[in-house]
Structure 1
C-alpha cells in the first residue's frame, strides 16, 4: 500500500487523518495500537484527532506497530516533519503589525529557561541600542513606534537571573556598519556592558584563522523545544526534536571558534575604538 505525498497534504489535520486511516486499515483499535507502541490510548486519540502533533519519533513508533512498508514510512515521516514546521512570512507579519510578532517573541522568552542565539549577520534586538533597532526597520514601511517600544521592553528579560542567554556573534555581525561610525561605537560598547550581566554569555567569532564550516542563517534555540531560523523572506519554526538537535549541534560547533569573557570584551572594545 502506498500513498501519494501530494494527496497527504501538508497540514497537521492531514497527518492526523492519515494515521487514523492507516490504523483502521490495519484492523487495530486505538487501545491495541497504544499497547503496541507503548503509548497511552489517550495520546493515540489526541494524535488521531489533531489535538496533539506527534514528533517524528512518535510517528515512527506508530508506523512500526502498524508494520508499514518502508516507502510508506518515508512518505508519512515527511508529512510529520512538515506538520512540525511552521512558516511565518515577513509580509504577513507586517500586515498584522510588527508589535504582534514582538509579543510572540516575548512569550517564548518568558516560557524558556535557556536561550541560544546564533547571529552571523546582525545584532539581535535584545542586545541593540534604540538607534540600531530603528535602523533595522528603516526599510519597512509604516509606523514603527510600537514595534520599537516593544523590542526595548523585551530587553528587561536579560536581567532575569533564572534564565541563561548565550549570544554567539560573528565579527561581521558586530562590525557591520548599519549606523554612522560614532553610533556603531556606542552599539559595540553596549555589547561589552551587557556581557557583564550574570545571565549573559556573549561569544565573538573573529574573522581570522581557519573556520572550516560556513554559517547560512540566523537561528535561535528556546530550550530544547523550538528552533527558529530566519531567512530574507520569513522565519521557519521547527518543533521536531531531530531538527532542534541539528541546530544544537551547529551551535556547539561554532562555540568552539568563539572568544568568550574578557577575551571577547577586549576584542569588542578594540572595534568600538576603531568606530570612534
Structure 2
C-alpha cells in the first residue's frame, strides 16, 4: 500500500475513533456491542483494516451516530477507489494518461504544485519528457508510445498561455539537479524553466537544499482549485477529493511556499545548477 492510501485509511480510522470516544465507549465495549473480536476496533482505527459498509453501519449504530453513516460510507468508497495501479491504468500506453487529464486541466483555474524530484510536466522540453517516458515505459513494461506521449504532454502545455489561470509551483532544489537525459538535456530544460518563470501567471518557488523548512512534506502533489489533490507513487496514483484532506494539502503547500525562495533568489539557484552542468560538459 502506498503512503497516501495508508494515510487516507488512517484518517478514516481516526474519524471513527472520535465517534467512539464521543459515545464514551472503550474499544472492547464497542467490539462487544458489534459482535466483533476486540482487536478489530483497534485495527480499523489505526488503518490496518479497512471497515466494510456493514462495519461502518454497526459502528455508528452502537455509538448513536447513525446520521454520519452515509458520509463515512462515501469516504470509505473513495478510499477504495482512489488507488489506481499504473500498470492497469496505462495498459494501453502512456499517451492515454496524458490525454485523460486534459478536461481536468482545462477546467482548473488555480494550480498549486509541489515537486521534490523532477520538474513538473507543464515545464518539460521534448527531450526531458522523452527521457522520463522512456524510463517508465521500460520500468512498468508498457506498450512503447513514447513519441505519442511526448507530443500529448507538450500539447497539454497550452494551458500555461490560455484562459484565466494561475499557477503556483514549489520545487525542491533537487529537481534542478536530478539528471534526466544527461547534461545537454538538463541545460535545455533549465533554460526552459527560466523562460516559463517569466510568465506573469506563473509563480515558481525553490526550496534550497540547506534552507529553513516549515513543512516536512514527503511526496509530490498537485492541487486543482480547492476540489482535488493528485498524488503519484511508483506503483499507483491517488485522487483526493475529501474537503478536509484537500485543505490539509493546501495548508502544507502554503508552508512549502514559505520555505521557498522566489524571484531573483530562485533564478540564482537555477543559474548555479546550469553553471555546474556547463562544467560537466567541458
TM-score after normalising by structure 1: 0.73
Match of 2:256 in 1: 254
Could you tell me which of 113, 125, 148 is aligned with 1:117?
113
Deviations 1:80-123 (A, max 9, x none): 32333422221012203322211222111101100111001111
Is 1:8–2:4 an aligned residue pair? Answer: no
State how far apart, in whole Å, the 1-side matches of 2:226 and 2:201 are. Answer: 18
Deviation at 1:245, TM superposition (A): 0.5
1:143 Cα shift? 2.4
What does residue 69 of structure 1 align with? Answer: 63
Q: Distance in 2 between matches of 1:103 and 1:213?
A: 33
Match of 1:226 in 2: 228
Secondary structure at the counterpart of residue 83 of structure 2: strand
- Map Cα deviations across residues 144-203 of structure 1 (whole Å, 9 max, x no partner): 222111001001110125100111110111211112112211111111100011211111
The answer to whether 1:92 aligns with 2:88 is yes
The question of whether the paired residues in 1 share the 8 Å contact of 2:173 and 2:207 is answered with yes
Q: Does 1:154 align with 2:199?
A: no
Give the aligned partner of residue 264 of structure 1: 266
Take 1:9 and 1:218, find their aligned partners in 2: how far apart are those partners? Answer: 35
Alignment size in residue pairs:
224
Distance in 1 of aligned mates of 2:67 and 2:85: 30
**CA RMSD after TM alignment:** 2.7
Secondary structure (helix, strand or coil) at the match of 1:84 reads: helix
2:85 is the counterpart of 1:83: no
1:193 corresponds, among 192, 195, 205, to: 195
Structure 2 stretches lacking a partner, 5+ long: 1-32, 37-49
- Conservation of the 8 A alpha-carbon contact between 1:185 and 1:273: no
* Structure 1 unaligned blocks of 5 or more: 23-62
Q: Is the 8 A contact 1:115 1:166 kept in 2?
A: yes
Instruction: Using structure 2 for the length normalisation, give the TM-score.
Output: 0.71
Shift of 1:74: 7.9
2-structure distance, mates of 1:193, 1:75 = 51
